[in-house]
A and B are shown apart, each in its own frame.
Chain A
Amino acid sequence: MARILSILVGLFFTVALAWSFGKGAYQQITEPPAATAEHEFHLHPKEVSFASDGAFGRFDRQQLQRGFQVYKEVCAACHALRHVAFRDLAALGYNDAEVKAIAKGFQVPVYNNATGEVETREGMATDYFPPVLYAGQGTPPDLSLITKARHDGPAYVYSLLTGYQNQPAELLKKFPDAKTPDGLHYNPYFANLNLAMPPPLTGEGQVTYSDGTKGTVDQMAKDVSAFLIWTAEPKLEKRKQTGWPVLGFLLFATVLGYMSYRNIWAGKKH
């Protein structure tokens, strides 16, 4: 009786699934889904490597400073960095005076109790990067966590910054309706191919590095991506450095554990 009941319940689910499958398969054959431009022309991020990659990765502080300069001079016009405090920049190798000077360069909003107005004052080391008000089209995302908030984040940021191009003629031939709308910009590394952000890195020399590195678009894109790896996870270096002694100890303890296991079970067939 229980067996018959269970088979009936089983048939209920399996027949319902077969029904869904059959109808779905029929639909696939009669009206196959149309190909889309996003599906065919979207590209995975380019191969790019950073000093912080790999199990032994360390930040290249010189590069982080260059990346911060790119952020400050280019990205900061539209993108905020709200999880990062100026004091955190000490990790990039700046001394206290330099951190204070950087903070001073930013205006931080403060609410004036007496007047009821929101005013601004010069930033201090303890302040976080202030919010950025953006008046144009779209909402520029906060960049603090961007390299963790995208698949293959660092390579994605780098690819997006260097990936602007004219819409391929092939795409327009195949999908005439997929022409990039006015005000948007074609970039195959962006999920739907057209994004509101105009190419931010326009040409060599846009940022003049103080360490003499040539400010090519490729270099700037790499540097700012490296900087954004740091903003997303300032403790990345410490994490990897902690991992090795932990694994070393565990390996030692596990070998000891294995030996005592062998010792205790010696002569006991199992």
Chain B
Amino acid sequence: MSFPWAKEYKPSHPFMQWMDDRLPLPRLVYNSVGGGYPVPRNLNYFWNFGFLAALCLVLQIVTGIVMAMHYAANTQVAFDTVEQTVRDVNWGWMMRYAHANGASAFFVVIYVHIFRGFFYGSYKAPREMVWLLGVVIFLLMMATAFMGYVLPWGQMSFWGAKVITGLFGAIPFVGEPLQQWLLGGFAPDNAALNRFFSLHYLLPFVIVGVVILHIWALHIPGSSNPTGVEVKSESDTVPFYPYYVAKDGWAIGVFAILFCTALFFFPNALGHPDNYIPANPMSTPAHIVPEWYFWPFYAILRAFTQDFFIIPAKLMGVLAMFGAILVWFFLPWLDRSPVRSGSYRPLYRKFFFFGLIPAMAVLFYCGGAPAEEPYVMLSQIAALYYFAHFLIVIPIVSAIEKPDPLPFSITESVLGEDEAAKLAPAPSATVA
């Protein structure tokens, strides 16, 4: 670990010593989520969402593997096998609802996790790699969730797949052949369903791999914290075990209560009724909408209603939809402010709370609404702000803003100056 005061793993039992010399797996655990990982003592509850996200991933993999045992990726029977799982498999209804609502829970958690990063500047040096890997995870999650939604082969599955794969058709010259090659046909059909199932099973394990890199990269500089001030001395940190194990533990309880309330009492609240109608390529639903977690980006896609010079509206929409997420990759270099936390950045904070958050809320709402006025115009305004926020506001704000004074250390921000002074270590013991 990076901090000199991190406790070292000392196996006492002879077997653990034997093991430690050959495969130091317990050492890895101890240094990752045990007493050997010092964490800032001042983390607030927004820092629980990383752990919750990992929990959601495990939940999705476990329930998903069970679902796959009862599923057949064939357009003739896919819908029926899912219904059979729900009706005739022991606890099949619970697995199905847990998996469907688990996807929603995962995205709720991940959106909080991402916006935590936006506000507290978690993407800034030296944690750029943590952030970049996180964006990769988010993209993989979106791909996985999209393909998973296609599998039950309901109306929204089919038409959602048709709309989203149709986006490839917007790419100039190669679009149409590319789309047909990806789908294995002219429209989503058996070939597409099979490859979606295959990828839907594969990608979660790719996500696990990237999550391991994400956590590895995080543990090099250690966790950020709400003040954004780097850890300076031992009094700034507490060991992960038992402190954050206990805090994450009870946060998991709260999460589980909310999740189970949805699972047992409102399992279909976030789903679209049309997906209980088997896919019918001859009958288009009145409004094609994706699952709620795609709504902001779907709203951005639909916001481009006019050709822009030589660029067709559809291509513009596709560019913007992907651009809306790809711009996050550049965030560490767009935001040049030396201060991390939004708590000490008065101007940035205003744009975050009165610009980005309302814009996201409007995009969420409009993405789920029909493509009519006033929703289209509202999403145009919100999308305009969204792009302006990341590409224009953040670079300018970080140049002109005068940040509030930062506390000297985490300890000082928690205990106050006088108390912290008593604890202050000799200057030689501090690390940069």
Residues of A within 8 A of B (CB): 2-3, 6-7, 9-11, 13-21, 23-25, 28, 33, 55, 83, 88, 141, 144-145, 148-151, 153, 191, 232-235, 238-240, 242-243, 246-247, 250-251, 253-254, 257-258, 260-261, 264-265, 268-270
From residue A257, how far is it (CB to closest CB) to chain B in Å? 3
Say whether, besides A6-B330, A260-B249, A250 and B256 are in contact (CB < 8 Å).
yes
From residue A229, how far is it (CB to closest CB) to chain B in Å? 12
Interface contact B243-A265, CB-CB below 8 Å:
yes
Contacting residues, chain B, for A10 (C-beta < 8 A): 387-388, 390-392
Q: How far is the CA of A20 from the CA of B80 in the complex (A)?
A: 43
Contacting residues, chain B, for A243 (C-beta < 8 A): 260-261, 263-265
Residues of B within 8 A of A (CB): 41-43, 80, 83, 86-87, 93-94, 97, 238, 242-243, 246-247, 249-250, 252-254, 256-257, 260-261, 263-265, 267-268, 273-274, 276-277, 286, 303-306, 308, 311, 313, 316, 320, 323, 330, 333-334, 336, 372-373, 376-377, 380-381, 383-384, 387-388, 390-392, 395-396, 399, 414-415
Q: How far is the CA of A11 from the CA of B43 in the complex (A)?
A: 37
Q: How far is the CA of A270 from the CA of B247 in the complex (A)?
A: 12
Total residue contacts A-B, CB cutoff 8 A: 167
Task: Write the chain B residue with the least CB distance to A231.
Answer: B87
Contacting residues, chain B, for A7 (C-beta < 8 A): 391-392, 395-396
Interface contact A270-B414, CB-CB below 8 Å:
yes
* Selected contact of A239 from candidates B94, B376, B387, B388, CB within 8 Å: B94
From residue A15, how far is it (CB to closest CB) to chain B in Å? 8
Say whether, besides A33-B373, A264-B246, A254 and B306 are in contact (CB < 8 Å).
no
Provide the main secondary structure of the chain A interface: helix
Contacting residues, chain A, for B303 (C-beta < 8 A): 17, 20
Tell which of A55, A269, A270 has the most Cβ of chain B within 10 Å. A270
Contacting residues, chain A, for B41 (C-beta < 8 A): 268-270
* Selected contact of A247 from candidates B261, B274, B304, B381, CB within 8 Å: B261
Interface contact B246-A17, CB-CB below 8 Å:
no
Please give 8 more A-B residue pairs, beta carbons under 8 A apart, in addition to A257-B250, A258-B253, A265-B247. Answer: A2-B333, A6-B330, A19-B306, A21-B380, A33-B373, A83-B80, A232-B276, A264-B243
Interface contact A14-B388, CB-CB below 8 Å:
yes
The 6 tightest CB contacts between A and B, nearest first, are: A10-B391, A243-B264, A254-B253, A257-B250, A149-B276, A13-B387
Q: How far is the CA of A151 from the CA of B285 in the complex (A)?
A: 13
